[in-house]
Amino acid sequence: MQFTQLLGVDIAKNKIDVALSQNKANAPMVNHQFANSLGGYKKMLIWLKKQGIAFDNLLVCMENTGIYHRSLVDFLQKEKVFAWVENPVTIKWSLGLARGKTDKMDAQKICLYAFRNQDKAKAYSAKDQSIQKVSHLLAARERLIKVRKMLLAPIEELKEMGLKEEEKMSRKACKQTLAALDKEIKAINIDLENLVQQEGELQASYHYIRSVEHVGPITALQLLVYTHGFERFDSGKKLACYAGIAPFAYQSGNSIRGRTQVHSMANKTLKTSLHMCALSAIRQGGELKNYFDRKVKEGKNKMSIINAIRNKILQRVYACVKAQRLYVRYQPN
């Protein structure tokens, strides 16, 4: 669908900045600011009507801010307005080098991105809501784990230094809190499992991912969230780039011959989870363990081999989800 009116929205906790483009010759973008509240949204619609906007041909594009965009999306859906929630990293890197930053400029950039990529626009759906719920639970789980690590770190340091009495006192002081944290983390794990089981589309993809050996439940859920149900990437290689495990050559002419390595720009959380999957594969033995041992004997760098295993696991996951089938281990004749 070709939209004649596009609205880029930069969202903050208490306000939203908008940039309106009507696809008219020599027509500049029009900017305005509203409160990030129901009253602000209603004023925005009144303002749009004064600009002569037809809502049935309006595309509203905004970044996924976690929670701050949710109320606006719900409001727009009730008003039958096309709401497109895009990955902020995708918008940022698609527009190239930028100097300066203001909320007004950010709204204009989002509007420009929507204009250039409106053929890729996807209306916010029930699936988006399900993924958002999983994302919130994963974030809560991660916060609890961080708190648990913060409490345990000094206790382990006391133990390493041989200060047994101090360690015992500290462990006793944190005992109830640690037990409560463990209980909450387990409860979130159950909630995540139940949530996926209730969502048919997510449930199918989740089972395809989990069928791949060495991929645990949390990694599977992270993959669902970060790939937006595997709709965000049209190839396994692009997903590997996003996860920071795709190796890139570094050379130019005859004088520059750097070693092939992964790029630092990556989703570090997903990269860490895939690393743990690779280590699990090496510990448990089997095909990937044999691959690791063979490459070590050939003199390959161990981290490069582990990265290759991460890549193998990710490519298997991507292939299974896209083909909508369970993973079947290859059995040589």
DSSP characters for 247-292?
Answer: -EEEEETTTEEEEEE--S-S-HHHHHHHHHHHHHHHHH-SHHHHHH
Q: Please answer whether residues 64 and 39 qualify as being in contact, where contact means their C-beta atoms are separated by less than 8 angstroms.
A: no
Nearest residue to 53 (alpha-carbon basis) of 26, 84, 30: 30
Q: Are residues 111 and 11 in the same domain?
A: yes
Residue 265 scores a pLDDT above 70: no
Mean pLDDT confidence for 206-211: 95
Banded model confidence at residue 97, pLDDT cuts 50, 70, 90: low
Banded model confidence at residue 254, pLDDT cuts 50, 70, 90: low
Mean pLDDT confidence for 78-86: 90
Residue 260 scores a pLDDT above 60: no
Mean pLDDT confidence for 147-164: 94
Residue type, 331: Q
Q: Are residues 101 and 145 in the same domain?
A: no
Residue 16 scores a pLDDT above 90: yes
C-alpha 254: how far from chain center: 39
Nearest residue to 222 (alpha-carbon basis) of 252, 244, 248, 192: 192
Q: Are residues 119 and 11 in the same domain?
A: yes
Q: How many CA atoms lie within 13 A of 222 on its CB side?
A: 21
β-strands 58-63, 5-11 pairing:
parallel
Tell me the three state secondary structure of residue 93: helix
223 in any annotated domain: no
Q: Are residues 307 and 243 in the same domain?
A: yes
Rounded CA-CA distance 112/43 in Å is: 23
Give the model's pLDDT for residue 327: 93
> Domain ends where: 124, 156, 190?
124
Q: Are residues 97 and 9 in the same domain?
A: yes
244 in any annotated domain: yes
Q: How far are the Cα atoms of 26, 154, 206, 281 from residue 330, in angstroms, in the given order?
A: 60, 46, 21, 16
Q: Please answer whether residues 34 and 43 qualify as being in contact, where contact means their C-beta atoms are separated by less than 8 angstroms.
A: yes
Q: Are residues 140 and 85 in the same domain?
A: no
Q: Are residues 111 and 132 in the same domain?
A: no
3-class SS shares of the chain: helix, strand, coil, % to 5? 60, 15, 30
Q: Are residues 194 and 246 in the same domain?
A: no
Q: How far are the Cα atoms of 64, 220, 247, 292, 329 from residue 289, in angstroms, in the given order?
A: 39, 21, 21, 5, 14
Q: Please answer whether residues 214 and 284 qualify as being in contact, where contact means their C-beta atoms are separated by less than 8 angstroms.
A: yes
Query: What DSSP designation does 161 have?
Result: T
Tokens of 211: 């069928």
Mean pLDDT confidence for 35-55: 93
Least confident segment among 11-15, 121-125, 173-177, 301-305: 121-125
Rounded CA-CA distance 215/218 in Å is: 8
Q: Are residues 112 and 141 in the same domain?
A: no
- pTM for the model stands at 0.76
204 in any annotated domain: no
Q: Are residues 167 and 190 in the same domain?
A: yes
Q: Please answer whether residues 21 and 5 qualify as being in contact, where contact means their C-beta atoms are separated by less than 8 angstroms.
A: yes
Mean pLDDT confidence for 173-178: 95
> Domain ends where: 137, 170, 198?
198
Tell me the three state secondary structure of residue 16: strand
Query: What DSSP designation does 36 have?
Result: S
Q: For tokens 């004088």, name the residue.
A: 255
> Domain ends where: 124, 157, 175?
124
Mean pLDDT confidence for 222-235: 88
Q: Are residues 61 and 158 in the same domain?
A: no
Percent of the chain whose predicted confidence (pLDDT) is above 70: 89
Which has the higher per-residue pLDDT, 232 or 315?
315
Mean pLDDT confidence for 26-43: 90
- Mark out the alpha helices in the chain (DSSP H runs): 38-50, 70-78, 88-94, 103-116, 126-160, 164-198, 200-210, 217-226, 236-243, 268-284, 287-297, 302-323
216 in any annotated domain: no
Query: What DSSP designation does 54 have?
Result: -
Residue type, 117: N
Q: Are residues 139 and 89 in the same domain?
A: no
Give the model's pLDDT for residue 250: 46
Tokens of 193: 């499992």
262 in any annotated domain: yes
Report the CATH number that the domain containing residue 16 is assigned in CATH: 3.30.420.10
224 in any annotated domain: no
81 in any annotated domain: yes
Residue 264 scores a pLDDT above 50: yes
243 in any annotated domain: yes
Banded model confidence at residue 27, pLDDT cuts 50, 70, 90: low
Q: Can you give the residue range of the structural domain that contains 300?
A: 236-323
Number of domains in the chain: 3
Banded model confidence at residue 26, pLDDT cuts 50, 70, 90: low
The mean of the pLDDT values for the chain is 87
Tell me the three state secondary structure of residue 15: strand
